[in-house]
Amino acid sequence: MTLALKWAERGLLTTAPNPRVGCIIVKDNCIIGAGFTQPPGGNHAEIEALHDAAVKGFDVRGATVYVTLEPCSHFGRTPPCCEALIRAGVARVVAALQDPNPLVAGQGLARLKAAGIEIVCDVLADAAQEMNIGFFSRMQRGKPWVRMKVAASLDGKTALADGQSQWITSEAARDDGHAWRARAGAILTGIGTVNADDPQMTVRALTVARQPLRIVIDSKLAISPDARVLAGAGSLVVAAQTNPGKEALLRDMGCEVIFLPNATGKVDLSALMQELGRRQINELHVEAGCKLNGSLIRAGCVDELLLYLAPSLIGDGMPMFALGALELLQHKRLLRFHEIRQIGEDVRILARFN
């Protein structure tokens, strides 16, 4: 199963909105086939592994199949994998964990068992779920796993008071940040960041087959058509107040505009998360300024902080989050450290909200 998880990693940037799944086929204590889920519309991991075994001339009858997620039991873009395994005549299927998709949710394992195949489940389940944390979030909560990335000095400043921020962290940390961008289905920022920095919000530090959807929260629909985040088709602008002329202009440029107002005339952030879930976004990567960061946290929309801390002190400057003052210390927002690692000269912290 450990090897199957390594194969699943090969689809880290390509399988969405499908889960990242790896499969290993073993017979007579030898690995005879391996595969991982291909981009949407392509083969799932089990089919790839069966094909790999066939190409090598191995007979899979009586073999054991190790797969990092329950084999699917429904017709989606591809036929059900459990039926392929039944037809192949395998003797045993070891799944890391059950598929959270309501269309599967144990039915795949049940059909395999009904066909006389031995079933084992919950093997390295935590690691398998971590691999697909966004897929599980979307299936179980109807919204993506939201990861907020911030690069700051050791005293928690993301820029000087005048907005200068290039560069606080090292090139190694910036490249690592692009790798996190690449695994996300969408990258979100705000109009404040667009006006201040004119970012591209694309993956550039590594070669990718597809760029994440770029999303800009812009309540008043004030974004400049020349903003680099809009260059090329595929950007989404989320507004709260209508501006028919600007809306038509942006749509003519190939951008999508949607309106999700709340009672105060701002974008309803919780509604946006549900909308992104409906659009099959598994992981949302946030790179924004302190105001939007604070708003997202206060709205309960953030699952995880991805912090890069540089070994430097800035003093007065821009904070990571605009959260306002607390009246009581016990009202502080609690997180738990998930991972701490040094990246180049900097420290990377993954911290999750409780």
Q: Which residues are catalytic?
A: 46
CA 308: distance to chain centroid? 18
Question: How far apart are the C-alpha atoms of 111 and 340, rounded to whole Å?
Answer: 42
CA-angle at 145, arms to 236 and 133, nearest 5°: 135
Ordered DSSP codes for 267-280: B-HHHHHHHHHHTT
Please say whether the beta carbons of 82 and 75 come within 8 A.
no
Question: How far apart are the C-alpha atoms of 153 and 200, rounded to whole Å?
Answer: 23
Would you state the structure tokens that stand for residue 335, as one six-digit string? 């997180």
Instruction: List the one residue out of 202, 213, 260 whose CA is nearest residue 236.
Output: 213
The DSSP symbol for 90 reads -
Angle between helices 81-88 and 45-55 (to 10 degrees): 30
Measured on CA atoms in the order 21, 68, 303, 178, is the torsion positive or negative? negative
Question: How far apart are the C-alpha atoms of 233 and 253, rounded to whole Å?
Answer: 7
Q: Tokens 């999700």 belong to which residue?
A: 260
Question: How far apart are the C-alpha atoms of 170 and 72, rounded to whole Å?
Answer: 43
- Residues whose CB is less than 8 angstroms from the CB of residue 75 and which lie 6 or more positions away in sequence, other chains included: none
CA-angle at 236, arms to 234 and 237, nearest 5°: 145
Instruction: List the one residue out of 342, 2, 307, 52 whose CA is nearest residue 158.
Output: 307
Instruction: Read off φ and ψ for residue 315, nearest 5 degrees.
Output: 85, -140
